[in-house]
Structure 1
Amino acid sequence: MSTNVFDEQRVKAPPVLFSYGFRPFFLLAGLSAAALVPLWVCVATGAFGLGGSIPPSGWHAHEMLYGFAVAAIAGFLLTAIPSWTGSVAVKGKPLMALVALYLAGRVASLPALADSVPAALIDLAFLPALGSLVAAPLIKAGKARNTAFLALLGLLTLANALFRLEWLGVTQATAQLGIALAIGIVLQMVTVIAGRIVPSFTQNALRQKEPTLVITPLPHLERAVLVLTALLIPADLLLPGSVATGALALAAAVAHGVRVSRWKGLHTLSQPVLWILHVGYAWIPVALALKGLEYAFGLPLGRAWLHALTAGAFTTMVLAVMSRAALGHTGRMIVVSRTTVAAYALVLLGATARTLLPMLPDGAWTPVLHSAGALWTLGFALFLWVYVPVLTGPRADGRPG
């Protein structure tokens, strides 16, 4: 009888790819990263055009945010929230429907289709749908710091609407506001999530060799980091490029720098799965410092801060979290392979090259852009090589999920 029950449960189980949220969305994030950047390099260097009426640079920003970053955010939230709240993970048909909506949004964002109302509505529906699936367990858990993620998803939806309204011809110059708002919200998410996982993962791992190691939080510092980062959002919307915004960015850079310096990053050099988290977070104070130097002191850095933040901090943290979580949630040892370490190195080199690009002589622009794109693409190709079998195959320990 127990065998029959086991067989019945196995028959009713969803396909492996849709048994947990990280599986399809981490896969889609990796595929997006590997496809969008080489496509953009070809467009930016004039190899071919995108067609349609959407500005190519606006489309690139939109898809890196709502194609790549949002897929990673969805995978993380659908995986972390069951752990935070003790709720049942979204899986099976609801997860399939959410993935289908995400994919429909990517089609609806193609330049040839993006300037229509139906396309806008399809793309705008994804984040509210994600929010509806995670709202109940977050609200039931009753912790304000968790339910704040619902507000952040709402603001990301608003930022997307600012893109779409301009593309529909309803407004003018709101896509740039959408970019600023979306980047600010993603930075806030990274700041909150990293503050939870980086010191915790680091301390738990290092205590095996250093039992007395403790990473003591400083509540005043944590509040300062969160407040300064949050204040950058209205500053970028209302006072873009101003001295005041630059000063705020410098203050936030110092706070983030002090924060990451206390997380014992130098103790993690023998464990790539840990040091990549520290390196990814360290891009944040670098990016904010570049932003502050440009805005407050007028240094001609060509908005190098933008790609230090997006290609550097956001992308490295996404890669770090995906590579770690995929192992842990599929019953594998949390030790990354040499191929994954090579992926880390390539993406970091690509981010560095892209950050330095605005400060290089004009003659270096095209070859360095090609190099940055190639490094990024190869890095994510290696990630996919290692993790497609992990994300699409059964757990190593035979358990469901």
Structure 2
Amino acid sequence: MNMESQSLRIPCARTIEAEGPNLACILELSVHEESASRLAELPALLSAAPHRLMFFAGAMAIVVSMLWWACVLGSGVYGFAFPVSPVPAGWAHSFFTQFGMLPFFMFGFLLTVFPRWMAQPALGKREYVPVFAGVFGGYLLSNAGLLDHKPLLLAGLLLMLTGWAYALTVLGRILARNGAQDRTAISCFSALLLGFLGLAAFTAFAFGASPELAIVAIKIGTFGLLLPIYFTVCHRMLPFFSASAIGSRYKVFKPAWSLPLFWLLALGHLVMELARLQQWLWLIDVPLTAFFLVHWIRWQPWKCMRPGLLAVLHIAAAWLPLALALYALQSLLLHFEGSLLLGRAPVHALTIGFFGSMLVAMVTRVTQGHSGRPLEMGCIPWLTFGLLQAVALIRILAELMPDSSRWLAMAAIAWLLAFLPWVIRSAWIFLTPRVDGKPG
């Protein structure tokens, strides 16, 4: 065998030497043609499944949104020039992380699982590609508009609104064919509908309506859109994943009363925030803290520390009662002492701690399974997950530091550093075929 290999290589070497530049050009041309062919295949590969498209968009948005925000904060701290946002930068940051960055992952997940949950055929490209084009195209256009180009911002928001409306139409049809019998799907769809209203409110503000609409949108984003979808998915999937990994030792806790009670409390919190009754929020947030703590304990995290892909789900879920406890404490301090001592620490415990950690945990699991890879956490996801816990603590403690502006900038940069390896790895997976050769 070795002799044959050597005899084959020698003529090739001689041929190249004899032909000289001509053969080298031919070989180089074939390499370029192969690269061009692979690039031409990328759109079809990326659109092979809804999670590929939307998770890829989300991975890009993680960098885009936080890079912009880090530059905004850095310009204030270090004094370098940066384009001024056409709308208040803090509002833009809150809005685009809640309605731009995180929803890509939610759309990717829901466009995949809605048909499965309700035993219907998988969605075709005509149904999910327009969602990607509208929401992601609008997001990119809007973020370009944040660089002091208001017409681009307005056009991008309208495009996002169109893509979101189309997603509601697609998912709504699935729900209607099911007769609206799946409670999980109803809960997620309701949150997306509230999200659409929040997106519309911010769009109206950007076009010149009352600034109050921007505040309404941001409040809806946290307690009307993100928290309901995150908890709803956890309520269904955490017990399922845990039972699948552990077996009969695990007692599934997924009571029918959870979602109705959750919605009652979450909407109560949202209404009180919109009514500017923060000093009375503890009346809702104390029960909501207890609600989440009961669920986390009944999900039996002590049984779920192995494998790692399961452990991170339960570790991420621990941020939920902790964040709501901070909300309750903030409200009690305001009620009895008239102080907002914790600043925005509660909302960042929820957004970075819970939403961010659960994002890494859940998306890594879905990505591993849907790319034909083993259901393992892996070094890079572990690194990002671990660093993200530190980022959440930095952002929370920044509210208590005397030089909070520098700590805020540090937290934004730390987010980028924590996520960058995970984003690069995830993007590579989304842009390459499944390792097991299966479609999707």
TM-score by length of 1: 0.89
Mapped pair 1:271 → 2:307? yes
Preserved CA contact (<8 Å) 1:22 1:79: yes
Moved more, 224-233 or 251-260: 224-233
Counterpart residue identity of residue 194, structure 2? L
CA distance in 2, matches of 1:163, 1:194: 28
Residue 207 of structure 2: aligned partner: 168
Mapped pair 1:188 → 2:228? yes
1:1-400 correspondence to structure 2 within 5 Å: 15-46=44-75, 47-109=80-142, 110-111=145-146, 112-114=148-150, 118-142=155-179, 143-145=181-183, 146-185=185-224, 186-207=226-247, 211-220=248-257, 223-243=260-280, 245-298=281-334, 300-360=341-401, 362-363=402-403, 365-400=404-439
1:112-148 CA deviation, whole Å, 9 max, x = no partner?
Answer: 3446764442221121111122222222122152234
* Percent pairwise identity: 23
Closer, same or farther: CA 315–44 of 1 in aligned 2, 3 Å:
same
Closer, same or farther: CA 367–57 of 1 in aligned 2, 3 Å:
closer
Counterpart residue identity of residue 130, structure 1? A
Preserved CA contact (<8 Å) 1:19 1:91: no
Instruction: Specify every segment of 5 or more residues in structure 1 that has no aligned partner in the other structure, as ranges.
Output: 1-11
Q: CA deviation at 1:104?
A: 2.5
Counterpart residue identity of residue 183, structure 1? T
Closer, same or farther: CA 78–94 of 1 in aligned 2, 3 Å:
same
CA distance in 2, matches of 1:187, 1:165: 24
CA distance in 2, matches of 1:239, 1:51: 29
Closer, same or farther: CA 91–345 of 1 in aligned 2, 3 Å:
farther
CA distance in 2, matches of 1:136, 1:221: 25
CA distance in 2, matches of 1:17, 1:120: 24
Closer, same or farther: CA 43–216 of 1 in aligned 2, 3 Å:
closer
Q: CA deviation at 1:238?
A: 2.0
Residue 6 of structure 1: aligned partner: none
Closer, same or farther: CA 32–279 of 1 in aligned 2, 3 Å:
same
Preserved CA contact (<8 Å) 1:135 1:147: no
Q: CA deviation at 1:226?
A: 4.0
Residue 4 of structure 2: aligned partner: none
CA distance in 2, matches of 1:14, 1:106: 19
CA distance in 2, matches of 1:225, 1:52: 36
Q: CA deviation at 1:383?
A: 1.1
CA distance in 2, matches of 1:326, 1:23: 9
Q: CA deviation at 1:214?
A: 1.7
Closer, same or farther: CA 393–13 of 1 in aligned 2, 3 Å:
closer
Preserved CA contact (<8 Å) 2:319 2:354: yes
CA distance in 1, matches of 2:260, 2:170: 29
Give the secondary-structure state (helix, strand or coil) at the position aligned to 1:122: helix
CA distance in 2, matches of 1:26, 1:282: 24
Preserved CA contact (<8 Å) 1:114 1:120: no
Q: CA deviation at 1:189?
A: 1.1
Give the secondary-structure state (helix, strand or coil) at the position aligned to 1:15: helix
CA distance in 1, matches of 2:310, 2:244: 11
Q: CA deviation at 1:333?
A: 1.8
Q: How many residues align?
A: 385
Residue 3 of structure 1: aligned partner: none
> What is the alpha-carbon root mean square deviation over aligned residues?
2.4
Instruction: Specify every segment of 5 or more residues in structure 2 that has no aligned partner in the other structure, as ranges.
Output: 1-40
CA distance in 2, matches of 1:384, 1:249: 34
CA distance in 2, matches of 1:48, 1:177: 31
TM-score by length of 2: 0.81
Give the secondary-structure state (helix, strand or coil) at the position aligned to 1:50: coil
Closer, same or farther: CA 368–133 of 1 in aligned 2, 3 Å:
same
Q: CA deviation at 1:158?
A: 0.9
Preserved CA contact (<8 Å) 2:99 2:195: no
Preserved CA contact (<8 Å) 1:128 1:153: no
CA distance in 2, matches of 1:319, 1:264: 21
Give the secondary-structure state (helix, strand or coil) at the position aligned to 1:242: helix
